[in-house]
Amino acid sequence: MNLEAEGLQKRYGDVRALDGFDLAVPPGVIHGLLGPNGAGKTTAVKALATLIDVDAGSARVAGFDVRDQAAEVRRRIGLIGQNAAVDEILGGRQNLVMFGRLYGLSKVDARAKADHLLDMFGLTEAAERAVSTYSGGMRRRLDIAAGFILTPAVLFLDEPTTGLDPRARNEVWAAVREVAEAGTTVLLTTQYLDEADQLAARISVMNHGRIVADDTPAALKRQIGGDRVTVTLAADTSLDSTAERLTAAVGIPAGPDADTHSLTFEVGAGVTALAGIVRALDDLGLVPEDLVLRRPTLDEVFLTLTAAPQEAAR
Amino acid sequence: MTAVRAGWILTQRNLAHWARQPWTPIFGLMFSIMLLLVFGFLFGGAISVPGGGDYITFLLPGMLALSMMFGVESTATAMAGDARKGITDRFRSLPIGSASVALGRVGADLANSAVELLVLIGGGLLIGWQITSDPASAALAVLLLLFFRFSMLWIGIFVGLAFRGEGATMAVQVLVWPIGFLSTAIVSAETMPGWLGAIAAWNPLSATATAARELFGNPTGITEGPLADSAVWLAIGWPLLLTAVFLPLSARAYRRLRSG
C-alpha cells in the first residue's frame, strides 16, 4: 500500500474532524475521497501530508510514518491544497524554478524541469506572465505542475476543480490523468460524484470524519441506484394519491416529498424509464409543474450508503 | 535541504517580488522621504534641540531608526499574506528545514532595509545632514540600525504567523505610529512632560536613534540619564532582548500551524 491510515482521530474543540479514519490505497492509482463540505476530507489530506498532527491513530505514506518520518514523507509527496498555492506575483516559470530548487534541484536542473512541466501542462505560452493574470484553470494546472516536480510517489489533490468552469475542469482532469499515467498515486478529494467517477479507480465515501463506503465507482453506483426522475406536481394535485397511482402505472415506487410537492423515482437507465413516466402522467391526465431527469445528489448518495447497512441489520 | 539554503532561495523569491512589482518598495521609500521632508522643513522650524544643534542634523538619524521600525508592517503583512493564501502550507509540505520560511523573510527584508538606509542617508546628505564622525563609527551606526530592524523582523514574523487575519496587520500599521512618535526619533524626550519623556527614553527606538546620532557625530538632544550615558549599549541590548523574546515566539507560532 502506498497510502495507509488507521483509526485517525482529530478534534477541533467539539468537532471531530477525523473520527476513526481508515484508508488503504495501492501504488499508481487515482483514489477518490468523496464527501460533502465538512466531512473531514481536507483534515485527512493535511494529516497524511504531515501538515497537522493527529490526536490518535497512525498513517504511512510511501512507506514512511507521517509522524516519525515526516521529512522522508515530504520528499515523496506533492500537495495541492484548495487555494492554488502558487506565488501570484511571480511568473509561471519562476514559480516552478523556485519549487524545483526547494526540492533540491540545481538551478540548471530546476530550469530544465520547469520547461518540461510547462510543456506537459500546456503553460509554455504563459510562462513569463505573472500568475495573477492566469485563468482559474491555468492556475490550477501550474499548481499541479509544482506538486509534480520530483514525480512524487503520492500526490494529494484537495478539491482541485472546486470553483472552476467546465472547460477549466476538463483541463485539470487531463492533468490529473497525466500525473497518474506517470505512476504517481493520487488521492483526490471532491464533492462531486461525477468527478470521482471520471477519474478514480476506487472511491472512498467520507462523512463525519470517517469512511462510510469504499468501492469501485461501478459498484458504488450500483449500490446507490441509477438516475432519478423528479416530477413536481401542480399545487392542486394530491401528493399521496398521485404517488400511489403513478407507482402502479410505472411499476417503480414514487417517493413523495411534501416540502417540494414532488415525487422522485429511482430509475435504472434514465431515458427509457422517463418515457414510461411521461406516458403514465399522460394516461392519468396529469400536467406536472416540472419534470427532471438527474444524477443522484451527494445527499442521496449518503442517505443510501449510510442507510444500507442499517436496513441490512434489521 | 538545509534551512539556510532554502532560506536563500526564498529570499530570492521575495526579492523577485520587488523586481516584478517595484512600486511596493518604491512607495515605501517615498513615504520615508516624505516624512523626512515634512518633519525636516514643515515642522522643523518650530522644534528646538536641547543641548543645541541643527534640527535636520538631529532628525535624520531618528528618521533612519523610525523607517527601520516601520519595516515591521511589511514583514507582518507579507507573512500573514503567505499564510492566508496557502503558500506557507505549500512550503511546509516541502523537504526543507522549518526555519527556511522565516530566514527567507529575514534575508529579503534586511536587504530592502539596507537599500532604504542608503537612499535616506544619500537624501539626508543632499539636504544638509552631515556625518562628522569617522567612517568606522558611521558604519557601526548603520549596523545598529539594521540590528534594530532585525529585531523588528521577528515581531513582524510572529504577528504575521500567529494572527493570520488582515486585522492583525492593520493593528500593527496603526500601532507603529504612537510607538514611533513616543520616542526620541523626531523630538527630544527632554522637551516632553516628565512622565512622557521617561516613557519615550525607554522606547527601544530611542536607544537606536540616540546611538546612531552619537555615532554619526550628530546632536543627540539628550543631556542626562541612561540614554545620554550608554545609548550604544542600549541599542545593542534592546534588539537582543526583543529578538530573544520574539524569535522563540515566532518558532512556536510556526510549529503551532501543525495543530491547526
Q: Count Cα atoms within 13 angstroms, Cβ side, for A260.
A: 13
Q: Is the pTM of this model over 0.90?
A: no
Grid cell digits, residue B111:
536587504
Instruction: Return the percentage of chain A with pLDDT > 90, whole number.
Output: 39
Counting one residue from A and one from B, how many pairs have CB atoms under 8 Å apart? 69
Chain A residues whose C-beta sits inside 8 Å of any chain B C-beta? 46, 49-53, 71, 74-75, 77-79, 81-91, 94, 98-99, 101-104, 130, 146
**B257 shares contact with chain A (CB less than 8 Å):** yes
Tell me: pLDDT of B173 over 90: no
Q: Count Cα atoms within 13 angstroms, Cβ side, for B100.
A: 25
pLDDT tens by residue, B8-17 = 999 999 999 9
pLDDT score, position A300: 73
Residue B16 to residue A101, Cβ atoms within 8 A: no
CA distances from A194 to A191, B4, B53 (A): 9, 45, 78
Q: Scan for cell 514611533, then name that residue.
A: B180
Residue A85 to residue B86, Cβ atoms within 8 A: yes
Closest CA to A191 of A179, A181, A177, A203: A203
Phi, psi of A218 (to 5 degrees): -60, -45
Mean pLDDT computed over B37-49: 81
The burial of A287, by beta-carbon neighbours within 10 Å (0-12 exposed, 13-18 middle, 19 or more buried), is given as exposed
| Beta carbons of A99 and A63 less than 8 angstroms apart | no
Closest CA to B205 of B160, B242, B172, B174: B242
| Beta carbons of B103 and B79 less than 8 angstroms apart | no
Tell me: pLDDT of A313 over 60: no
pLDDT tens by residue, A43-74 = 999 999 998 999 999 999 999 999 999 989 98
Interface test mutation site (partner B, options A64, A87, A99, A139, max chain B beta carbons within 10 A): A87
When CB atoms are compared, the residue of B20, B89, B257 closest to A81 is: B89
β-strand pairing of A290-294 with A64-65: unpaired
| Helix, strand, coil percentages in chain B from 3-state DSSP, rounded to 5 | 80, 0, 20
**B255 shares contact with chain A (CB less than 8 Å):** no
Mean pLDDT computed over A193-222: 87
Which residues contact residue A233 at a Cβ distance below 8 angstroms, ignoring those fewer than 6 apart? A239, A242, A261, A262, A263, A286, A288, A289
Residue A51 to residue B258, Cβ atoms within 8 A: yes
Q: Given pLDDT bands bounded at 50, 70 and 90, which one contains residue B150?
A: very high
pLDDT score, position A270: 64
Long-range pairs for A116-123: beta carbons < 8 A, 24 or more residues apart: A117/A145, A117/A146, A117/A148, A117/A149, A118/A92, A118/A93, A118/A145, A120/A145, A120/A178, A121/A145, A121/A175, A121/A178, A122/A171, A123/A92
Q: Given pLDDT bands bounded at 50, 70 and 90, which one contains residue A314?
A: very low
Which residues in chain B are contacts of A82 at CB distance < 8 A? 86
pLDDT tens by residue, A209-221 = 999 889 888 888 7
Grid cell digits, residue A238:
394530491
pLDDT tens by residue, A228-245 = 888 888 888 888 888 888
Q: To which CATH superfamily is domain A3-222 assigned?
A: P-loop containing nucleotide triphosphate hydrolases (3.40.50.300)
Residue B13 to residue A83, Cβ atoms within 8 A: no
Helix, strand or coil, per DSSP, at residue A210: strand
Mean pLDDT computed over A200-213: 91
HEC readout, B168-210: HHHHHHHHHHHHHHCCCCCCCHHHCCHHHHHHHHCCHHHHHHH
Kindly list the domain boundaries of chain B, sorted by start residue: 3-259
pLDDT tens by residue, A87-108 = 999 999 999 999 999 999 999 9
| Amino acid occupying residue A17 | A
Residues in chain B: 260
* Distance from C-alpha of B82 to C-alpha of B158, rounded to nearest angstrom: 13
Residue in B with minimal Cα distance to A150: B94
pLDDT tens by residue, A117-158 = 999 888 999 999 999 999 888 988 898 889 888 888 999 999
Mean pLDDT computed over B195-210: 91
pLDDT score, position A312: 42
Residue in B with minimal Cα distance to A51: B258
Kindly state the helix (H) or strand (E) to which residue A224 belongs, with its residue range.
helix A217-224
pLDDT tens by residue, A159-186 = 988 878 888 888 889 888 988 888 899 9
Phi, psi of B116 (to 5 degrees): -60, -45
Arithmetic mean of pLDDT over chain A:
87
Residue A90 to residue B16, Cβ atoms within 8 A: yes
Kindly list the domain boundaries of chain A, sorted by start residue: 3-222, 226-295
CA distances from B189 to A97, A131, B135 (A): 51, 49, 28
A262-266, strands of its sheet edge to edge: A254-257, A262-266, A228-232, A290-294
* Distance from C-alpha of A135 to C-alpha of A166, rounded to nearest angstrom: 13
Tell me: pLDDT of B236 over 90: yes
Q: Given pLDDT bands bounded at 50, 70 and 90, which one contains residue A306?
A: low
CATH of range A226-295; options 3.40.50.10540, 2.40.30.20, 3.30.70.100, 2.40.50.140: 3.30.70.100
**B103 shares contact with chain A (CB less than 8 Å):** no
